[in-house]
Amino acid sequence: MLRASHLPPIANPALGALRVSLFSCLSLSSPSSRLKVSKFAPFRTLIPPAFGPSSPHRSLLSLERVVPLRGLPCPKGTASFSAGSNSGGGREILVQHLLVKEDKLLVDLQHRILGGEDLSDLAVEYSVCPSKEEGGMLGWVRKGQMVPEFEEAAFNAPLNKVVRCKTKFGWHLLQVLSEREESVLQDIQPDELHAKMQDPNFLEEAQLIDVREPEEVSQASLPGFQVLPLRQFGNWGPEIDTKLDSQKDTYVLCHHGMRSLQVAKWLQTQGFQRVFNVAGGIHAYALKADQSIPTY
């Protein structure tokens, strides 16, 4: 079983402080692929090569570090400087930035961007933030995840407008590349899920995913759940858009609720609007909701 204690800490204290939530969306596969790599690639880099049947207790690295690349527009030629006034309630924004220590350098970089250079390219060369390795990409963020000065500037910036702000880390140039409605990720208790499953319409309207391994499913299972084993992520992960509808309510199940929580968080980064993790997994479901389900 995967435990929260298995997840690695944020390596850089300054970067961890900048992004004050547990979501540290600063792990892409490579700087050169920041606008071209599929959304599967960042997830793939987080799975240890040896993770497989021979290592049942081998932990995945944190899925909270995944950066979604769906719909990422190319910002070249679109940058300008502005200070708009949008509210951040109920939405998430896709942000890239660069960080420098000197305001003189910041002004020079502003002029270069206005001249047509790309902020992400300049971030690789000049930024002192670890995100420089990813072209300054911070990923999807929502209010409450960033330090106040950065958050205020980002959520007030019109799309593709380069904005500057100052935080305790230095001077930032940031650019909001895209926005979307804030998604929902929450636990659902076994008895609540059991009640929903008594309605035939629920099984038709929702999509149910069991991320346990086949040998586990053979011991205990729930009707209507599509089995997508976590160890076989390489097979189904790249095709998630063809297998599931991101606009449907999605319920994720495992043995005790930890693996399913990680997958649920990943689905959220992929644009799934309403994701529910079955709290306690099928074990809790068998104890609290339907004792005809065997435990193992």
Active site residues: 254
What residues are paired with 226 via a beta bridge?
209
CA angle 137, 143, 148 (to 5 degrees): 85
| Residues 43, 233 contacting (CB under 8 angstroms) | yes
Query: Can you tell me the distance from the alpha carbon of 281 to that of 174, in angstroms, rounded to the nearest whole number?
Result: 40
Q: How many beta carbons lie within 10 A of that of residue 284, not counting itself?
A: 19
Count CB atoms within 10 A of the CB of residue 130: 16
* Cβ atoms of 29 and 46 closer than 8 Å: no
With CA atoms as reference, report the closest residue to 22 among 268, 291, 286.
268
Alpha helices in the chain, H assignment, sequence order: 13-18, 40-44, 103-114, 119-126, 148-155, 190-197, 200-205, 214-217, 233-236, 240-243, 258-269, 281-288
